[in-house]
Structure formats: C-alpha cells, structure tokens
C-alpha cells in the first residue's frame, strides 16, 4: 500500500491490526469482549468514549479493515438527517440484495442533536445499521437513552507513559510510514519531555514530533538531533484537556472534595489545573465560599469571611495575581476544622417546611412595632433576652419543638455546643 508522506504523521501511523494497537488493554487485551468481537467480525452497536488522541477513530478504522460488512462514515459536525436517510436506504438495499450488514461510524456523535439521534434510532433498532459512535464527552449526558440502551459503551483511557514512548519510538523506526529511513537522534530528556507534554494523547505526541522533524536541519553527519532545547521550543505551552463540560465538573469536584478532605496539596494541584486551563477565577472563588460554609461552617467561622473576601479580591485584581488569594483561601478552608452541622440542619428544616404542616408564629414573636399591633396582641408576652442575666431567658420559639442544629466537637463549634449545654442547665 502506497503511503502519502504529505499526510499527517498521526494519520499515517494508524494501526491496521489489533496487535499494532497501542494501549486500552482493559478493553482490547486478548480474550476481552471487544477483542473477541472484532476478531469474529461480530460487532454490535457501540459507543467509544474518551479524551482526544487515545485511539477512538483508529479503533473504528481497525474494525473497518477487519469486517466484511459495508462501512460508512459520517462526521456529526458536517452531516445531518438527509445523510442518515441516504445511508439507511443504501443499507436496506445492501442487506436485501447481498445479506451484507452496514456499519456506520459517526465521529463526534455528541454533536448530533436529539432530532438527529431520533432519526438514527429506527435503523439501529431494526438492525439495518450497526452504529459505532465516537465522542470525547460522557455519552450518558449527550446520547439519547434509547440509543444508549441499544449500544455498548467502551471507555478509552488516556495513554500511559510507556504507550506514548512506544508510539514515538515506532514513528522513529517505521521506514514506510514514519522516519525510519532517516538518521534521527533523540535524547532521553527530549523523549521524556514529549511524553509528559502529550498527557496521554498519542496524536499530540506525534504532532509535536512531526513539527520537530519538519523544522530541524541535519548536522554534518546527516543526523537529525532532537534534544531537550528543541523539544521545549516545539512545545511552548502545555495544553490541558479541560472542556466546559464533564472535565470541568470533574476537576472542580476534585478541588472541592480535596478541601473537604483536608488535603491542602491536592487542593492546590486542582486549583492550579483550573487556573492553567483558563477557568473563570470568580467561579473558583464561589466554590470556595460554598465549601467554607458547607464543610467548615461554625467549626471556623473565619473561613467564610476569608472566602467571601477572596471573591472581592479576585474581582478587583483579576489574574494572574488573583491566583494568590485563591490559593490562600483554598488552603485555609482545606486546613480548617470541619463541620457540616449547619448544612445538615438547614436541609432538615427545609424538609419539614416542605413536607409537614407549617407551624404558626406565636403571637409573642410576631412583629409589634407598627401602630395598632397591641390591639392585635402582637408581641404580647415576649421576653427580651438582654433584660435577663447572662442575656438569656427560657422561652419557646417553636410551638412544636424540633432539633435541627447538632453542633460537633470541632473547632469553635465545640464552644457553641458547650454554650447550648449550659443554657439547658440554666447556667
């Protein structure tokens, strides 16, 4: 097979057999379900889900090379219902005339709206089309349930360091599709730098290597030398896979849970990832405020003050300096004693308000400052706590007693608990 050397390196190096496929052993190791299905040419509808550059499209084309079925491809960005209808009609004809199945590969299937997915459903449901969809987004959020229920979901994971290393070395050694016919020297430092830059994305690693090869001149001995300095020049800034959907929420979830779990180092790491990826610093500050109140609460009331001050600071100074108050507040919340007693208390109270008969406000607690209130007996019998010893007097504030707030022994909340216990005992 002739290889066009002008096509991108990543395209030229797509594997054509399962043995050449790098990574994803959790679904493609010998004996695994998908491995067996491909070898037996018994593919059913499936969704390939994972980040860019991990082999989703390569796997689809590997199936194309292995199957005896008719293989069609659509890109969800540029295709519509008319394309689906055309392929469905052709698939019906193919099945009637030659008993040949049709596999339809839809790249970026998450870009199909509900109407387009609905149009695809009957053909999948009736077995006219075997669907292979690829997506970088969680299919549970983007694919309609009827399609999901008729498809197997296979998650492809970021490639491991050894996988990326294998891909780069294969590109340097492959004489037909890579650079094996050239004299290339790559330092261990440059190789390690490319691997770390790739961040689990094989395509990114190959694109960086290709740029280096295209822009490097051979030395007097005809050797193309790729050293650490050149690798850094090729890769001027690392790009993080951080969309505004699942990865965005996964990262903020890890950030919040690290603060809640009292791990300042993990907190700073996830914060750094969000800042580096360009997350709105005000969004981060709002999450810190919520965590300060929900997870620290009255164990350290200063946490909420610091968190709210951080939002003001970030709005005032912006980035890059805004990272400093964000880090300060996040670390403070992470290292503060924890209590969710207020959070649990308000949830219990809200549940009672929603589900139970509402309690009336006692007359002695009603507003009594307006003219004519005394005629309605508003405020009658109210005892003003500051007129009593220790600024407290026993008085019912709910006609039906309830217990919502259960202070813990953590931080300042321990003092609150002790104070409430003294009240019970009448000081």
Strands 46-49 and 152-155: parallel
Per residue in 211-270, pLDDT (tens digit) is 888 888 888 888 888 889 888 888 866 666 666 567 888 999 999 999 999 999 999 999
d(CA 173, CA 149): 43
CA torsion, ordered 56, 60, 61, 62, to nearest 10 deg: 90
**8-state DSSP, 131:** E
Element (H, E) at 74: strand 70-75
Q: State the average pLDDT for the chain.
A: 91
Cβ-Cβ contacts under 8 Å for 320 (sequence gap 6 or more): none
d(CA 279, CA 286): 12
Q: Which tokens belong to 407?
A: 């202070």
d(CA 69, CA 103): 7
Q: Given this model, what pLDDT does residue 215 score?
A: 85
Domain map of the chain by residue range? 24-155, 161-234, 246-335, 364-424
Q: Which residues of the chain have pLDDT under 70?
A: 1-5, 236-245, 427
CATH classification code of 246-335 = 1.20.272.10
d(CA 135, CA 186): 34
Q: Given this model, what pLDDT does residue 245 score?
A: 65
Burial of 330 (0-12, 13-18, 19+ CB in 10 A): buried
Whose tokens are 């508003």? That residue is 378
Asked: is 24-155 a CATH 3.40.50.300 domain? The reply is yes
Cβ-Cβ contacts under 8 Å for 200 (sequence gap 6 or more): 51, 53, 54, 157, 158, 159, 160, 164
Q: Given this model, what pLDDT does residue 346 score?
A: 95
Give the residue from 310, 308, 306 showing the smallest Cα distance to 324. Answer: 310
The proportion of the chain whose per-residue pLDDT surpasses 90, expressed as a percent, equals 66
d(CA 27, CA 226): 34
State pTM to two decimals: 0.68
d(CA 427, CA 421): 9
Per residue in 131-160, pLDDT (tens digit) is 999 999 889 888 999 999 999 999 999 999
Cβ-Cβ contacts under 8 Å for 50 (sequence gap 6 or more): 56, 136, 155, 156, 157, 158
d(CA 416, CA 339): 12
Q: Given this model, what pLDDT does residue 378 score?
A: 84
d(CA 266, CA 198): 22
Q: Given this model, what pLDDT does residue 425 score?
A: 81
In order of 59, 102, 103, 176, the CA distances from 124 in angstroms are 20, 10, 10, 39
Q: Is 260 within 8 Å of 338 (Cβ atoms)?
A: yes
**8-state DSSP, 158:** P
161-234: CATH architecture: Orthogonal Bundle (1.10)
The proportion of the chain whose per-residue pLDDT surpasses 70, expressed as a percent, equals 96
């Amino acid at each position: 097979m002739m290889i066009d050397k002008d096509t991108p390196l990543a395209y030229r190096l797509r594997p054509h057999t399962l043995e050449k496929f790098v990574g994803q052993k959790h679904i493609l190791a010998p004996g695994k379900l998908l491995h067996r299905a491909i070898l037996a040419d018994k593919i059913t509808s499936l969704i390939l889900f994972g980040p860019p550059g991990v082999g989703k499209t390569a796997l689809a084309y590997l199936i194309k090379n292995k199957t005896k079925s008719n293989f069609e491809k659509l890109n969800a960005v540029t295709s519509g219902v008319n394309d689906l209808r055309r392929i469905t009609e052709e698939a019906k004809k193919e099945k009637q005339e030659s008993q040949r199945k049709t596999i339809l590969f839809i790249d970026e299937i998450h870009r199909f709206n509900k109407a387009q997915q609905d149009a695809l459903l009957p053909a999948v449901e009736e077995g006219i089309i075997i669907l292979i969809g690829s997506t970088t987004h969680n299919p549970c959020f983007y694919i309609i349930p009827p399609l999901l229920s008729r498809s197997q979901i296979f998650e492809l994971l970021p490639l491991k360091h050894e996988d990326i290393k294998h891909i780069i070395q294969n590109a340097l050694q492959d004489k037909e599709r890579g650079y094996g016919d050239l004299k290339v020297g790559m330092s261990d430092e440059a190789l390690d730098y490319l691997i770390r830059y790739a961040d689990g994305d094989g395509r990114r690693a190959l694109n960086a290597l290709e740029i280096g090869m295209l822009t490097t001149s051979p030395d007097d001995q005809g050797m193309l030398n790729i050293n650490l300095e050149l690798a850094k020049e090729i890769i001027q800034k690392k790009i993080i896979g951080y969309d505004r959907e699942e990865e965005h929420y996964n990262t903020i979830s890890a950030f919040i849970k690290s603060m809640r779990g009292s791990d300042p180092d993990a907190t700073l790491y996830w914060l750094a990832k969000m800042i580096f990826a360009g997350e709105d610093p005000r969004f981060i500050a709002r999450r810190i405020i919520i965590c300060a109140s929900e997870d620290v609460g009255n164990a350290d009331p200063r946490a909420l003050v610091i968190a709210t001050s951080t939002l003001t600071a970030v709005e005032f100074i912006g980035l890059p300096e805004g990272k400093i108050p964000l880090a300060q507040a996040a670390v403070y919340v992470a290292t503060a004693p924890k209590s969710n007693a207020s959070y649990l208390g308000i949830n219990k109270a809200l549940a009672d308000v929603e589900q139970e008969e509402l309690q009336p406000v006692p007359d002695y607690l009603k507003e009594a400052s307006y003219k004519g209130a005394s005629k309605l007996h508003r405020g009658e019998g109210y005892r003003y706590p500051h007129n009593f010893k220790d600024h407290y007097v026993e008085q019912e504030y709910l006609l039906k007693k309830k217990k919502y707030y259960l202070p813990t022994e953590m931080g300042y909340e321990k003092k609150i608990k002790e104070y409430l216990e003294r009240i019970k005992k009448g000081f």
